[in-house]
Every structure is written in C-alpha cells, then in structure tokens.
Amino acid sequence: MTFTVEAFSEGPFELGEGPHWHPQLKKLFFVDITAGFAATIDAAKKVQVLHQEDAGHTVSAVLPVEGQDNQIVVGVDTSVYLVDVATGEKKLLDKLATGGVRFNDAKCDPKGRLWIGTMGLETAPGVLTPEQGALYLLSKDGKLSEQLEKVSLSNGLAWSLDNKTLYYIDSFVRLIYAFDYDIDTGKIANRRVLVNMNEDSDFLAAELPDGMTIDANGNLWVAMFNGKRIVSIDGKTGKVIDVIKMPTSMVTSVCFGGPNLDEMYVTSIKKFLDEKRKAEEPLAGYIFKVTSTKKDFKGHLPNFALQF
C-alpha cells in the first residue's frame, strides 16, 4: 500500500484541530476546540495540556513563541492571548469587537506573522450564517487588523515554497484561494480561485475543505471534512494528484512532521458524530500518523512560531 495510517493518540478528542510540528521539541502541537484546551503530544503518545479554558469557551489555535520556551499564543473565542505555560498567566493581546463569530484556524507566515481567521457560529456542523467572518493579521505589537472580509468559514493557510503565494481556504463556499504575497510587508493581493470544489468532479458533494499544509514539492494536502480522506492538490494547476483514505469521516487538519518531515499528522472530530456513526468509525476523534512508501512524501516545514 502507498500510505499507512495508524492512530497516533491513545484515545479520541472532541474536536481536534490545528496541528503544528515542533522540530526542536519533537512534539505535535494541537487544540481541542470545544473541550477548550491547547496541548502537545509526543511519539510516546503522551499528551501535555499547555492551556485549559473554562467550560463553554473555545480554543481554536495554538502556536509557540520563537525563543520563548514557556510561551504560547492561543486563539480563545474572539480573543488572542499570550500564555505563560509555566505559570498559567494569560495576557490579552487583542479582542475582536465583532459578535456572532469565533476564531478558527491560524498559522504563522515565514516571517513569524500570525494570520488567524473567524467563522460564524455553527448551528450544526458546517451550518452557519455566511459572510460573518474575516481573516486577520496580528501585528508585532499584538494588534489585529482585518485583511479580508466577508469570509464564511475561515480555515486552512499555507505559503508557497518561494513565499510569493498565500493559499487560503473558505470551507463553507468550498473554495481554495491563492493570493500574491509580499513576504516583506505581509500584504496580500490579486485573489483568485485555485480550486472550486463545487465545479470539480474530483470532489464529493458532502465534503468540505478544512485544514491544509504544503509539501516539499509545492503541492497542497487538504483534510476533507466529511470526506474520509486527505487530498493532494497541485499548487499551480489546482488538480488532484493523490488521495489518502482515512478511517474516519470528519478529518479536520494536517501537517508534516517527524525527524525527517516524512510523517503526516491528521486531526479529527468525534463530537459531531451520532451514535451510529461513532460505532461505524471507532477511531473518530483520534490523531493519526500517515507514512508512505513514496520517496517524495516529505513536508516543507513552514515557520511554526510567532515572532514579536
């Protein structure tokens, strides 16, 4: 078989998301959005909770801070906090004035700038009021500025290998956009559609593009929520070039990691499945590790840490 998929966690999470590989710590950072925590997991499957919110609050993203071993940045509801893991101290960086939304996926660009998006509040999985969200950039002084408006469900982010293109997913409309990217200023321009899943027969009607990453060949790997698969997409043509079948339907995000960046980590959801589907998908909510016999199955390690 080309791909081997195995459980990387010992048990399921409610709504696993936001995986980032930390090469120095040799750990995977991730969040459980609805359980409200940010954590790491290592090769021994040991989970360390870095930050836990009170019940009823979402934690949508976690990123380490460069040069600060005990500091992380987390997206909580509509706020961005700097957290000292050692003391538990939480410092507010900025908070949105907008209601009816929450933060979702976030990543740092190759210069260490934090990009984080919002989505309308769901009444059911993938069911929300459209165009309530936006995409934001966090400045060096910790302030959020809106870079893109009328987003419905802000999700996956990735930068091309030459740093000249930002790839971006709005899950609700099933589109992957490409923008010209100025790495020196962080400015985006010239939005165009790379993939329209509403018009491409390679995509299932029920699936939504969720989190994504980019490999060493410049191809995107996208977690297909409700699709039970990861798809690889040519970063220039937008065509599907490979598929990884997953043991659960609601996969949420993906990243490369491991000592040689030849392992793929995939997060997933258990919370939204009914009892019948939970019985059919006993590994729902687990974190997975994917390996491959393909020699070019290798990640491009993006910048994973915030720089102030």
Q: How far apart are CA 6 and CA 227, in angstroms?
A: 18
User: Would you call 260 helix, strand, or coil by DSSP?
Assistant: coil
Amino acid at the residue 234:
D
Q: How far apart are CA 133 and CA 285, in angstroms?
A: 26
Nearest to 246 by CA among 202, 286, 293, 217: 286
What are the helix (H) ranges across the chain?
Answer: 275-280
Catalytically annotated residue among 105, 210, 215, 262: 210
Nearest to 285 by CA among 3, 4, 6, 11: 11
Q: How far apart are CA 109 and CA 183, in angstroms?
A: 8
Q: What tokens does 224 get?
A: 């297909």
Q: How far apart are CA 94 and CA 75, in angstroms?
A: 10
Q: How far apart are CA 120 and CA 88, in angstroms?
A: 29
Q: How far apart are CA 151 and CA 164, in angstroms?
A: 22
CB–CB of 106/75 below 8 Å?
yes
Q: How far apart are CA 226 and CA 207, in angstroms?
A: 5
Beta strand pairing call for 229-233 and 220-225 = antiparallel
- Spatial neighbors of 185 by CB under 8 A, at least 6 apart, are none
Q: What tokens does 287 get?
A: 């974190």
Instruction: State yes or no: is 210 an active-site residue.
Output: yes
Q: List the catalytic residues.
A: 210
